[in-house]
Amino acid sequence: MEHSSLEGEDRGGFGDFDPSSAETRSAYQDGFGAADLGDAATSVMPAAESEGRTWEELTGAGAEPWNAPATETAAPTSWDDPSPDSPNMAVASTDERMPSLDELLGKLTELEGSDLHLKVGSPPAYRLDGELHFAELRSLTPDDTADFADQVMPPHIKERFESEKDADFAYGKTALGRFRVNVYRQRGSIGVVLRSVPPVSSTFDELGLPQVLERLSKAERGLVIVAGRAGTGKSTTVGALIDHINTHRRANIITLEDPIEILHSDKLSIVSQREIGLDTPSYQEGMHRALRQDADVIFMGEMRDREAMESALHAAESGKLVITTMLTADASETVLRVIEAFPPFQQKQIRFMLAGVLQGVLCHRILPRADGQGRAVAVESLTINERSYERIIDPELTNLLLDAIVDGSFYGMQSFDQALIALYQKKIVTFQDAMAHATDPSDFKLAAQAMGLSTS
């Protein structure tokens, strides 16, 4: 099958982007620097300076602006313009040339940032190590953001955007990499958020992921749930898991994504990537068809609702290995979210079904590295043994699931607090950051003191 491309661009399909090229890999040293896109379009972070770092320090000492020196801007001329005193205001001429979208994305890649925000009334903004920073450029106009959106939206997406006022899709170029795009409307104008999607170029160890993933990748059937809040690295973990299976197993892998993020070329396995709305109408329909396509492994982008959960459970029960994601905070919440998505009269059946097919739950939290070089991931992992099985099927014991995780290290389990203690012990993160992300900060501090670690 031929895939359409236009001068190296990938408009929602595969294009000519090579995720395994050395050029692309060099742009992504930190696999979790560009996490999966959640509600990035609505995030609001401090502008310009973070933790004492200026824009000049982030972009390189003495770095020149991209264009002409900035000059004072005129007063706003419409309700959509910011006040001249606004901290978001770029001090620049209104006729100053705005860099092209590819130039802006090139700068994002150079800075190893995760997101580019394009919103009317503010300069382009980059998310670097979790913080938003405004570029030294003029504020964007409605024509600027409309033009940026028009450059990246394929025709079928434009039709959807006109009717729904929001659109999610993928954009890629060989020299830049691949990006997940959200285009939305706000106050009558168009906004665009582009999230960098790192190619698969790292092992589980290099990404700081627990070794239990190696075992989960060998499972012939069952359900693996990769969970965490938006922007915590779920896409990176799923990409690494699929790539590991692709590299070490002879299997038929089918992915159902909205949109397709990380591209996988065939290795030992065959990988078919289907985009919701373009290649199949819905997750449910895609799952139904995958069972008739001789799939060994099925990746479903997200279990968003009861219908998707039911499809995943039935596919896992039929003998497929199903990998999916959920927006949940920890393993216990993930289990309860699945069970409580069903009406009360079904929940006993769902408890037994889930306990019978579940291979593992991997929940993510992201925190700054102690050396200031990117971010580290802490992973809570739940697998199935006798104790965790009993706590899933028995409503009276489900609230004790964390106890089974804490005591289940032999089976590859660890709690968030155990993962954070390990990161702090290796001096990857600071005590203050680890305690701020702990499930129970008081218990975390006591555990650190018991291990003889500094808590000051």
Across the chain, which has 456 residues, the per-10-residue mean pLDDT values are 40 42 41 39 38 49 41 35 40 66 94 95 94 95 96 90 93 89 95 90 88 96 97 93 96 95 94 93 94 96 94 96 97 97 97 98 96 94 97 97 97 97 96 96 93 90
Residues 221 and 167 in one domain: no
CA distances from 446 to 348, 417, 428, 441, 452 (A): 38, 11, 19, 9, 10
> How many residues are there in the chain?
456
What pLDDT does residue 113 have? Answer: 92
Residues 359 and 302 in one domain: yes
Residues 168 and 212 in one domain: no
Rounded to an integer, what distance in angstroms lies between the CA atom of residue 396 and that of residue 96?
Answer: 65
Residue 345, in any domain of the structure: yes
Residue 354, in any domain of the structure: yes
Domain that holds residue 263: 204-414
Residues 167 and 215 in one domain: no
Helix axes 142-152, 101-110, angle to 10 degrees: 80
Q: Is the peptide bond before 259 cis (omega within 30 degrees of 0)?
A: yes
392 and 355 in contact (C-beta within 8 Å)?
A: yes
Rounded to an integer, what distance in angstroms lies between the CA atom of residue 362 and that of residue 226?
Answer: 5
Residues 50 and 78 in one domain: yes
What pLDDT does residue 74 have? Answer: 37
Residue 183, in any domain of the structure: yes
Q: Which of 197, 219, 250 is the last residue of a domain?
A: 197
384 and 422 in contact (C-beta within 8 Å)?
A: no
Residues 183 and 226 in one domain: no
Q: What is the model's pTM? A: 0.74
Rounded to an integer, what distance in angstroms lies between the CA atom of residue 305 and that of residue 321?
Answer: 20
- CATH number, domain at 408? 3.40.50.300
* Helix ranges restricted to H, 111-211: 142-152, 155-164, 204-207
Residues 121 and 91 in one domain: yes
Residues 235 and 172 in one domain: no
CA proximity to 277, closest of 168, 194, 173, 431: 168
Our count of domains for the chain comes to: 2
CA triplet 321, 312, 402: central angle to 5 degrees?
85
Residue 378, in any domain of the structure: yes
CA proximity to 134, closest of 161, 167, 111: 111
158 and 151 in contact (C-beta within 8 Å)?
A: no
Q: Which of 155, 178, 197 is the last residue of a domain?
A: 197
Residue 419, in any domain of the structure: no
Residues 401 and 299 in one domain: yes
Q: Which of 133, 165, 197 is the last residue of a domain?
A: 197
Residue 266, in any domain of the structure: yes
Q: What is the CA radius of gyration of the chain?
A: 23
Residues 299 and 232 in one domain: yes
Residues 265 and 355 in one domain: yes
